[in-house]
Amino acid sequence: MNHHDMFFIDGAWVAPDRLERLDVINPATEEAFTTIAVGAKPDVDRAVSAARAAFATFAFTSKTERLDLLRRILEAYNDRYEDIARAVSLEMGAPLAFARDSQAWVGRAHLEATITALERMELTEQRGTTLVTREPVGVCALITPWNWPLNQIVSKVAPAIAAGCTMVLKPSELSPVSGIIFAEVMEAAGTPKGVFNMINGTGPAVGQVMAEHPDVDMVSFTGSTRAGILVAKAAADTVKRVAQELGGKSPNIILSDADLDKAVSEGVVRCFQNSGQSCNAPTRMLVPADRHDEALGIARQAAETLRVGDPQADDTDLGPVISESQFERIQTLIAQGIKEGATVVTGGIGRPEGLNRGYYVRPTVFGNVTRDMTIAREEVFGPVIALMPYHDIDEAVEIANGTVYGLAAYIQSSDINQARALSHRLRAGTVALNYPAWDTFAPFGGYKQSGNGREYADWGIHDFLEIKGITGHGA
């Protein structure tokens, strides 16, 4: 039995208050492969009430009890690993190998990192006669996006449980099936009733109601900056905590001493990973002006080696983007880049050759991009990269920092000391030097309009904790 027409509330699969269905589209075929129930305010009220009741006891569980629960969740997650990967491939169009090796893997990795972090974490501290304690913030509304479904679900749910919070999760309605499987994982792990609740639905009908709900103590939201602003406004009237991971337009500074071929080629691959649908993708490649044309040729070659096509095929590198509206938005931005005078060396408007259905985008490389161009300022969220020339490091820093975003930045140099020094000048929450591996223990979050708060491992747990000082407590 699948639970696509049900919600997980108070430890059980329940029918929605009013059954309304929404098609879930396979972006590779443009056809619905299932439907889900979408919720409304009565469903949110029921889930929040269950979470509030559960908080009265779960908040006082021991660290050992919460670690035991997280380990059971990890075991249940591993039992469903292949189901999760296949669901992500179907609902997102992610190549199946990528869905297994990255999308499903990162959920496991975050569970493992959270367990390790909680094992090491001290939740009380004596300061003279004052006892400082870290206590769960309360009932949490978790609103997650479609582009890395398990990454964002687990990097919210796991630290919330580690902290002793209870929660209501709303996965994206564009990629809901992996979220439903995750709720089945939580059930299989024996999560106490009411601790974890899940409702599917749209942002206005469910997410907005969760954010403004008076019995919700915290909202953790990942998505666009535009939607994040609406969530923050909805939460303001009840002065609840809001943690946000929002958009990005991340610079990738290639210094003059870098191996240009390697730096540019890998930069293109990293930008286009997940069909370019990553908020921290290195979408602006800053290259020395006197090597711009050389870099453009390397970028073109790297882009043209990527195979776009059927997510189920073994040799596919890039699948489609998530939806028709996202496809059309990307097409509009590519057209705008051409209109504003950027150089297109490969890709452009339309689907790749041989693909006449599915939301497939041609991997596109723009050169001679200037700071005022739309493709240098707006988050495209597709396989599109902008090469921007700079004349000296000061100009590179000015270009890199010259956006409203500050989620991530990248530096490529053969001189690690030079890269380290430059990293401190960049206004971004994460700076990656010479393409390191994904580190689930590094803090993840943004400066400026890329959000606030930090996720991953102990950084994520801290976001779900309140600080209490008990003065006069004694030694």
Residues 441, 99 contacting (CB under 8 angstroms): no
Does 428 score more than 80 pLDDT? yes
CA–CA distance, 116 with 195 (Å, rounded to integer): 21
Residues 323, 27 contacting (CB under 8 angstroms): yes
Tens digits of residue pLDDT in 8-19:
999 999 999 998
Q: Residue 1: its pLDDT value, please?
A: 73
Residue type, 276: G
Question: pLDDT > 70: what percent of the chain?
Answer: 100
Tens digits of residue pLDDT in 264-300:
999 999 999 999 999 999 999 999 999 999 999 999 9
How far, CA to CA in Å, does 296 sit from each of 268, 288, 345, 352, 387?
Answer: 11, 11, 7, 20, 7
Average pLDDT over residues 164-177: 98
Q: Which residue matches tokens 């492969």?
A: 33
CA–CA distance, 323 with 306 (Å, rounded to integer): 21
CA–CA distance, 144 with 172 (Å, rounded to integer): 6
Q: Which residue matches tokens 């779960």?
A: 58
Does 73 score more than 90 pLDDT? yes
Question: pLDDT > 90: what percent of the chain?
Answer: 99
Q: Residue 347: its pLDDT value, please?
A: 98
CA–CA distance, 399 with 370 (Å, rounded to integer): 9
> pTM (2 decimals)?
0.97
Q: Residue 29: its pLDDT value, please?
A: 98
Which one is catalytic: 245, 266, 379, 455?
245
Does 475 score more than 80 pLDDT? no
Average per-residue pLDDT in the chain? 97
Residue type, 108: R
The question of whether 245 is a catalytic residue gets the answer yes
- Domain residue ranges in the chain: 7-246+450-470, 251-440
- For the chain, give the number of residues: 475
Residues 106, 450 contacting (CB under 8 angstroms): no
Average pLDDT over residues 322-327: 98
Q: Name the CATH architecture for the domain at 7-246+450-470.
A: 3-Layer(aba) Sandwich (3.40)
- The dotted CATH code for 251-440 is 3.40.309.10
Q: What pLDDT band is residue 114 in, cutting at 50, 70 and 90?
A: very high
Does 199 score more than 80 pLDDT? yes
CA R_g for the chain: 23
CA–CA distance, 390 with 289 (Å, rounded to integer): 5
Q: Residue 357: its pLDDT value, please?
A: 96
Q: Which of 160, 7, 152, 184 is nearest to 81 (CA)?
A: 184
Q: Which of 33, 223, 249 is nearest to 231 (CA)?
A: 223
CA–CA distance, 473 with 475 (Å, rounded to integer): 7
Which one is catalytic: 91, 279, 379, 455?
279
Residue 279 tokens read as: 């908020």
The 3 state secondary structure assigned to the chain is: CCCCCCEEECCEEECCCCCCEEEEEECCCCEEEEEEECCCHHHHHHHHHHHHHHHHHHCCCCHHHHHHHHHHHHHHHHHCHHHHHHHHHHHHCCCHHHHHHHHHHHHHHHHHHHHHHHHHCCCEEEECCEEEEEEECCEEEEECCCCCHHHHHHHHHHHHHHHCCEEEEECCCCCCHHHHHHHHHHHHCCCCCCCEEECCCCHHHHHHHHHHCCCCCEEEEECCHHHHHHHHHHHHCCCCEEEEECCCCCEEEECCCCCHHHHHHHHHHHHHHHHHCCCCCCCEEEEEHHHHHHHHHHHHHHHHCCCECCCCCCCCCECCCCCHHHHHHHHHHHHHHHHCCCEEEECCCCCCCCCCCCCCCCCEEEECCCCCCHHHHCCCCCCEEEEEEECCHHHHHHHHHCCCCCCEEEEECCCHHHHHHHHCCCCCCEEEECCCCCCCCCCECCCHHHEECCECHHHHHHHCEEEEEECCCCC
CA–CA distance, 5 with 82 (Å, rounded to integer): 22
Q: Residue 284: its pLDDT value, please?
A: 98
Q: What pLDDT band is residue 152 in, cutting at 50, 70 and 90?
A: very high
The question of whether 165 is a catalytic residue gets the answer no
CA–CA distance, 407 with 245 (Å, rounded to integer): 8
Q: Residue 155: its pLDDT value, please?
A: 98
Q: Residue 391: its pLDDT value, please?
A: 98
Does 143 score more than 90 pLDDT? yes
